[in-house]
């Protein structure tokens, strides 16, 4: 299988790196890191890579930093059409990257987005055609994917085999739309609240009012999903809260790390999207709006006076 990975950050590097190690024909499309990767290879921490691998594959990893010589370019036309395009850029770079990726996508190409957000597939479909793009959800320890209509297809079965051959922890879903919405509901709370209070999970959830904010943000997003016909489990919120409370107390999510480092935020596709959909369907979203409003000054990185 010929594979292209759009984006060489933590997400694209780990998944693409695992596929390279399994012997697949992988080309990375890079911009800022292009020359460094050409000269030094793709580098990542073996422990971080191990989080997305099965226990068996994890046990075969070397200790410390893994360095892989890989194929990398900033010119997709030189690569040509591929069988699989992993779309791993940040959501704020999605449209720019999609325009650049055109030469990679042919009639038989499967595009798998790995971003958070409920309109990612729709946006990519406007560039590559609706059929080309399947649904995907990425968690810290696994990826879930499937046809958007829940059907079983030859391409998703083949993709499952490819991922399993690389030791990746994967799940082929027959309800990917529900999976996408469940991740969105959770990440609006986790990503929004932790970034707003500037605290890791344990200290944030130890405050009853902040814990209530987590739950309220999820309840608002669930109201939207129900309105558009995507049902989640009735006990989703208490189950998610139990899961979050069981995580290591000092764990941080990517949006908290981004705001601490003064990087851009994917806010518009998270709480901002919940606010937009709430207005569209006349569903109140005051808690999501409060988070969106509090973080919006940081959406482009640290405000000028703070940088």
pLDDT per residue over 105-130, tens digit each?
999 999 999 999 999 999 999 999 99
10 pLDDT tier (thresholds 50, 70, 90): confident
**Is residue 66 over pLDDT 90?**
no
Q: Are residues 166 and 260 in the same domain?
A: no
**Is residue 9 over pLDDT 90?**
no
More confident of the two residues 304 and 178: 178
Looking at residue 165, its pLDDT comes to: 94
Q: Are residues 183 and 38 in the same domain?
A: no
Average pLDDT, integer, range 154-174: 96
Query: DSSP string of 79-129?
Result: H---SEEEE-S-GGGHHHHHHHTGGG--TT-EEEE--SSSSHHHHHHHHH-
Q: Are residues 152 and 99 in the same domain?
A: yes
The answer as to whether 289 is a domain residue is yes
- Cα-to-chain-centroid distance, residue 102: 21
Average pLDDT, integer, range 48-75: 89
**Is residue 307 over pLDDT 70?**
no
Looking at residue 291, its pLDDT comes to: 98
The answer as to whether 157 is a domain residue is yes
- Record the pTM: 0.94
The answer as to whether 85 is a domain residue is yes
Range of the domain at 116: 2-174
Q: Are residues 166 and 212 in the same domain?
A: no
User: SS3 breakdown of the chain: % helix, strand, coil, rounded to 5?
Assistant: 50, 15, 35
């Amino acid at each position: 299988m010929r594979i292209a990975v759009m984006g060489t950050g933590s997400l694209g590097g780990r998944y693409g790196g695992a596929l390279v190690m399994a012997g697949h024909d992988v080309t990375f499309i890079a911009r800022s890191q292009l020359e460094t990767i050409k000269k030094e290879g793709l580098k990542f921490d073996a422990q971080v890579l191990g989080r997305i691998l099965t226990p068996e594959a994890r046990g075969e990893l070397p200790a410390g930093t893994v360095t892989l010589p890989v194929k990398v370019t900033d010119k997709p036309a030189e690569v040509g059409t591929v069988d699989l395009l992993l779309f791993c850029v940040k959501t704020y770079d999605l449209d720019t990257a999609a325009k650049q990726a055109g030469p990679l996508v042919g009639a038989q190409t499967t595009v798998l987005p790995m971003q958070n957000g409920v309109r990612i597939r729709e946006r990519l479909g406007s560039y590559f055609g609706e059929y080309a793009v399947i649904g995907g959800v990425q968690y810290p320890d696994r990826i879930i994917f499937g046809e958007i209509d829940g059907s079983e297809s030859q391409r998703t079965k083949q993709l499952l085999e490819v991922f399993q051959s690389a030791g990746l922890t994967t799940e082929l879903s027959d309800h990917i739309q529900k999976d996408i919405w469940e991740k969105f509901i959770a990440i609006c709370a986790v990503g929004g609240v932790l970034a707003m209070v500037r605290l890791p999970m344990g200290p944030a959830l130890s405050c009853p009012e902040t814990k209530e904010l987590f739950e309220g943000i999820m309840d608002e997003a669930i109201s939207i999903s129900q309105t558009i016909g995507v049902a989640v489990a009735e006990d989703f919120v208490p189950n998610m809260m139990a899961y979050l409370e069981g995580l290591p107390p000092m764990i941080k999510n990517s949006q908290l790390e981004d705001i601490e480092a003064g990087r851009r935020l994917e806010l518009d596709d998270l709480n901002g999207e919940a606010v937009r959909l709430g207005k569209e369907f006349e569903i109140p979203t005051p808690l999501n709006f409060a988070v969106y409003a509090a973080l919006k000054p940081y959406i482009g990185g640290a405000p000028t006076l703070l940088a």
